[in-house]
Structure 1
Amino acid sequence: MSHAMPQRRGEESAPSTERLAIGINLAADVILAVCLLFFLFDARRYPMLPLDIAAWALLLAVVTLTQLGAARRVRLPTSWWTIARIVFGAVIVLDVFGVLDQVGNGVSGPYPTAAIGVGSGIAMFATAHQRERSITLAIAALGILLAVDIVVTAPGALDPDLAPGIVSLALALAPPIVGVATVRAFRNMVEFQSDLSQAKGTTSAAATSLGQTASEQLVRLDMQAEQLLDDVASGRTPLPLSESLADSASTIATQLRMNLVARKSETWLHHALTESTVFGAISTIDDPDGLAASLAPDQRDGLLTGIWMLAGDGERVAQALTVTVRRNNVGAQQRLAVTLELIGVPKRRVDPAAWQAISRVGRYTDVYSTPTLRVDVDCALDLVADR
């Protein structure tokens, strides 16, 4: 059963993240069960047992309602995360005060168990469309409260009771920290692969074309020009045009010419990189003659895959990426020289599959001089490639 929180209004569905929540929440449930067993075994030793029972009742209520809400068996309020944090705070206070007279008197405890289980409760919200910052702040608050409890109850640096307290702290913080890290890595990977899939769509498109951004701009300009012409034809706008309308028409014409000129040099490679959400901000394409359009579809796919695998892995991305394309004619054979320069990518971190992808483009050599990785590719042109 997936324990992810229900989707809030205005947010995109994330079924993959919800499936990921199954494993995270299962691990959290196991830790909760272990903490509950420890509590039941030591129940007779708690000096203020009603406080600890109340703490566990509140914790289990929040966890149960969260899971029922994820299964859409109950409807939770939109402020459920806020309510849960308040309840978690109450659980920690009740549980700590419930054992305050005994902790530190012996290595065997008893120790706050419900307070440790709060970490597992927080972990359940890692995949619940909550902001990572709010989850991190909740983890930090839990860690600080438990650390203070350890210091108060085991003040000596070499006190034997300090070790179980540290273990308890680690047991409390590990589930939410691992949950947040896992979800972050998963989302980065999905975004990275989605961006690559979208970019690969350009390899089968026309060699030179308008990208998505330029296409939207062209549609807007076309509508403005059509509206102006229709107004003139219908007589709503008299001739000669006023100075403001003339300036507007001139601007539209200039932008249309710029789009048409750009189409000759903005190849599939330009659109694949500059419109990428991952590499758009760091990419520079030096291909004034639009030579990348001459590459065959398989070469395009290999070059694009190689660039993506060289420049990032979803977690870490290059600081700068420059792609240069020039002619490299040898005799009667037409060839291209493609140079990739990446800053901030250690060669030891490069996936071997990246070199396999680059080899599909042509013969390559690589040189690494901190912090720049340079890859020179000599590729033969397929004269029947889509132009």
Structure 2
Amino acid sequence: MARALWPVLLASAVGLLPFTVFSTYLVPIADEAGSGVAAMGGLRGLGGLAALLVGTALAPLIDRVPKEWAAAGALAALGLSAALGASGDFVLLAVFCLLIGASTAVLNPALTAAAADRFGTGKAAGRAATLVTATQSMTAMLAAPVIALPALFWGWQGDLFGVTAVALLLAVVFVARREKRQEATSGDAPAEPRLGYLASFKALAGVRGVVPLLLIGFLRTAVFMGYLAYLAAFYEERFDLDAGVFAFVWTLSGAAFFVSNLLTGRLTNSAAPRLSTERMLAVGLVAALVSVVGFYFTHWLPLALAMTALHAASHAIVAACVVSLIVRRCGTSLRGSALSLNAAGQSLGVFVGAALGGAGLGLAGYPGVAVVFGALVVAALGAAALVLRARLRDEKDDERDTEVEVS
């Protein structure tokens, strides 16, 4: 599967690199632009805003064009934005942040849907989609050292120009693969008609369990990203860990997320899983609730590290289950739209999680943060109950149909 999807997996990794370069070299980038670090760092929010708006607005369109073309266009925009960012000009860096957010809002769901489409509508499609998300989590963990070594020779500008070159080459690969596939299927039956713009939203709302899944994706991201936003401050205040030592904590969290995401994708999409994906989703949310609440009341470093690993692993379980269920329930005609809305909800979750976590911290300290994030996970568990209910209704419908056929 990885060999068949290598361009998709590579493109999903490349999509994370521009903002990784921006975050890693924020201070020298701010110096180059003649700006303060705070002002330059604030531009990152423009990317999240663009991702939210573009991901929501263009969600139905991803299923109305070949997903390879959507990915190629997003890669071209990403490559152009990286080249603009390498200029070091403040205004162009603002455009860089906007374009990166907009392009990744199209790129990520297009790649995930394209990977799933290659393997149909069954569990193999869900496994292919989670392989893309696992690659992204692995890249997020390894991207900083990967870009740091080349930057020793050509600086952060060279990193961005390197992203431009790779992104444009991959765009050409996706266009060529699409044209080759068109030639191979030119004699097949015509494709099914695509839904209209508004009809796509209506059709998604009518698919059982999809709206609760999108809500879970939003709430999960709000909790995890809000938790990560204050993770370094917590370890420094409670355990006196400096930035150098905290880097190992960050690696622990990233490794736990990657391994758990990869294994969950394989287990839940196997031929005979021990737990259904819906029940695995509930298990992940319960683990997230226990770990996020327990973490903020922990005063023993080994236990805090265990909670950090458990929390990352539990979120990886939830993320993999959400993507798998969206892919399976929506089919090839709607999965791109649903994945795009899921990505837009995650962009919104980043802002909401940081804001609510900050409010809880300001009002009641870390116990307040635990209450806020715990309440969000409880809300996600309520949505998970609706997802499980949708599965049970599907099973009853299948049994009824079987009885009708037999009679």
Larger Rg: 1
**TM-score (norm: length of structure 1):** 0.26
Of Structure 1 and Structure 2, the greater strand share is in 1
* Larger RCO of the pair (alpha carbons < 8 Å, separation 6+): 2
**TM-score (norm: length of structure 2):** 0.25
